[in-house]
Amino acid sequence: MKKFLSIVLLAVMVLNLVSCSNGSSGAEYRIGICQLVQHEALDAATEGFKAALSEKLGENVEFIEHNASGDAATCITICNQLVSENVDLVMANATSALQAAASATADIPIVGTSVTDYATALEISDWSGKTERNITGTADLAPLDEQAAIIHELFPEAENIGILYCSAEPNSVYQAGVVIEELEAMGLSCEVFTFADTNDVANVTAAACAASDVIYVPTDNTAASCAETINNVALPAGVPIVAGEENACKGFGAATLSVSYYDIGYIAGEMAYEILVNGANPGEMEIAFAPEFVKVYNSEICSALGIEVPEDYVSIG
């Protein structure tokens, strides 16, 4: 009998050790999150993603969050680490994070968000709306023809448009190209001004202001993280900026066509749930977009620059 009890106790100890080695959370699903940089838009997308999964899975989900502080190389390190930890799914927030996740694993499902153009990010030439890989997600792209139309609507007398963005962000390059085509079709002249990193932002913005009647800044994470720097140059120079998204517009823009980053993050969370619980194949899931777009304006900047805004624009403060 004593021998039997000893065996039982030993078995219990082994089970306890195995339980401890599997982590203390007891969560059924472990989700790795790689966010490129901390700023309001990407933070909102992460919040929406977590909210969707938490509502559906409750305590059965654990989030392992990492922020790369704007460094693409750090995204690679983070994603490799998440893969080595054998997470059940990777959420990649922003283009560089998505590219890093795609390089790190072809097996673990990846759900992106705050990515402007998946075909550009993943170098897919025959784009069908699906990646046909272990990747799906949501895009933060507002209709670029309508963004260009805002520039012409608010500033009908403008002739020279500066296009300002970070050259290291492929989706910014893509957006700039499309908007330039739209603006040139309206008879406007466009000049591109790019910065390589945060160190160049102030000087390049100053050069853009000197040469432009209006500046357009696409959805660009480096620009968004340097919103105060850009505004401190452009506003005293009296040069209005049309931004690619609302949170950047709050920092330095006069107006934009708004996308809710919380909403696209939430939709990404719903997609992750379908993959994890219902066995959906990410490669066969269509990339999703924001459910609605709203023309918004920064009342403080518009007032300072004397910009008259049409009634169909909504103030964001």
The boundaries of the domain holding residue 83 are 23-141+261-284
State what percent of residues in the chain have pLDDT above 70.
91
Enter the pTM of the model. 0.77
| pLDDT tens digits, 148-207 | 999 999 999 999 999 999 999 988 999 999 999 999 999 999 999 999 989 999 999 999
Residue 13 in any domain: the answer is no
Do 168 and 36 have their domain in common?
Answer: no
Q: Is 159 exposed, middle or buried (0-12, 13-18, 19+ CB in 10 A)?
A: exposed
3-class secondary-structure state, position 303: helix
Instruction: Look over the chain and give the mean of its residue pLDDT values, rounded to a whole number.
Output: 91
| pLDDT tens digits, 64-97 | 999 999 999 999 999 999 999 999 999 999 999 9
User: Are residues 242 and 214 in contact, defined by beta-carbon separation less than 8 angstroms?
Assistant: yes
pLDDT score of 27: 73
Residue 273 in any domain: the answer is yes
What is the CATH number for 193?
A: 3.40.50.2300
Q: Is 215 exposed, middle or buried (0-12, 13-18, 19+ CB in 10 A)?
A: buried
Do 159 and 303 have their domain in common?
Answer: yes
Residue 91 in any domain: the answer is yes
Do 211 and 302 have their domain in common?
Answer: yes
pLDDT score of 2: 42
pLDDT score of 144: 93
Domain count, the chain: 2
pLDDT score of 20: 39
Do 166 and 107 have their domain in common?
Answer: no
Better-scored residue on pLDDT, 3 or 219: 219
Do 243 and 179 have their domain in common?
Answer: yes
Do 184 and 308 have their domain in common?
Answer: yes
Concatenated DSSP letters of 80-135: HHHHHTT-SEEEEESHHHHHHHHHH-SSS-EEEEEES-HHHHHT-SS--SS-SSSE
- Cβ contacts of residue 84 below 8 Å, gap of 6+? none
Do 70 and 135 have their domain in common?
Answer: yes
Residue 289 in any domain: the answer is no
Residue 113 in any domain: the answer is yes
| pLDDT tens digits, 90-128 | 999 999 999 999 999 999 999 999 998 999 999 999 999
**Separation CA 97–CA 113 (nearest Å):** 10
Do 107 and 133 have their domain in common?
Answer: yes
**Separation CA 68–CA 83 (nearest Å):** 16
pLDDT score of 26: 59
Residue 39 in any domain: the answer is yes
| pLDDT tens digits, 15-42 | 443 333 344 445 799 999 999 999 888 9
Residue bearing tokens 């500033």: 155
Indicate the angle between helix axes 227-237 and 201-211, nearest 10 degrees.
30
Do 267 and 135 have their domain in common?
Answer: yes
Residue 267 in any domain: the answer is yes
Do 180 and 195 have their domain in common?
Answer: yes
Do 231 and 275 have their domain in common?
Answer: no
Do 206 and 242 have their domain in common?
Answer: yes
Residue 18 in any domain: the answer is no
